[in-house]
Amino acid sequence: MKILVINGPNLNMLGAREKEVYGERTLADINAEVAAFAAANGMDTEFFQSNCEGELCEAVQQSVSRYKADGIVLNAGAYTHYSHALGDALACVRIPKVEVHISNVHAREEFRHVSVLARNCSGVICGFGADSYKLACLAIKNILTK
């Protein structure tokens, strides 16, 4: 079982940005932690990060063909709240998709309370730090093994 983990804009700045919100771990730290967790639970992972909306859409579109993924874990960052293009890309792909956020977006600014991606995902997990990614991997595994 292979999970494609896609991270959007500014997540490459983890460890340096808003540590009070996102913590001190870098994206590389989180990716390594998620990869180890996934492997211990019988899953392979591949990671992709971009600050560009079109590149994120292409990664989603190519999730099955290029990445051979069985599921997608997506932290789209700010694109979560207004990228209808990314939402349309998610609708095109018929594998489980879980939207994740490191912080609890519902405890933050009002604009973060609305996701235009969630309707095209199997579920949304937020507020558990890097564990949000791990929980999403488990959710996809559960969906695929039912």
What is the C-alpha to C-alpha distance for residues 64 and 25, in angstroms, rounded to an integer? 29
Return the ∠ at Cα 127 (arms to 94 and 100), rounded to 5°.
15
Residues 6+ apart with CB under 8 A from 131: none
**CB atoms inside a 10 Å sphere around CB 55:** 14
Active site residue 22: yes
Point out the catalytic residue in the list 22, 106, 113, 133.
Answer: 22
Point out the catalytic residue in the list 67, 81, 84, 101.
Answer: 101
Active site residue 106: no
Residue 9 is encoded by which pair of tokens? Answer: 């804009």
Amino acid type, 103: S
Active site residues: 22, 101
